[in-house]
Amino acid sequence: MKSERYKKGWDRLKEIDGAAGENVINALKDIAPDFADLLVEFPFGDVYSRQGLDLKSREIATVAALTAMGTAGPQLKVHVNGALNVGCTQQEIIEIMIQMAVYAGFPSALNGLFIAKEVFDERESKVE
């Protein structure tokens, strides 16, 4: 039986990341099921469910942070999708990454832009 934190987190994860988020959790179940539960409960059940910022603002912050890190490509891909799912436009995502060039450097921003392009292209091909 899963906790209320888990249930709240699972609903928030699905709302933001959809199938991509579910795939991450399911992939962890074979290797680290406790970590999968923590990933649902803490970031999504506790942090993403807080008052004070709407989901779009939270995803803008997340995309900016992951872009700046420059080492979290798979996570950035999931969250670019998430940002689009909660109302960010492609142009807003591009602007976030351009802004990160100032603070994280051109290589991090460039890597982020290539990941964003990949996500945009994948989503566009699903529409056709």
pLDDT tens track for 13-25: 999 988 888 999 9
Domain 53-128 has CATH 1.20.1290.10: yes
- If one counts every other C-beta atom within 10 angstroms of the C-beta of residue 81, the result is 22
**pTM summary value:** 0.91
- If one counts every other C-beta atom within 10 angstroms of the C-beta of residue 4, the result is 9
Rounded distance between C-alpha atoms, residue 128 and residue 90, angstroms: 18
Residue 2: what pLDDT? 86
Read off the pLDDT band of 54 (50, 70, 90). Answer: very high
Task: State whether the Cα torsion 26-32-36-37 is positive or negative.
Answer: positive
Examine the pLDDT at 111 and tell me if it is beyond 80.
Answer: yes
- Spell out the domain ranges in the chain: 1-50, 53-128
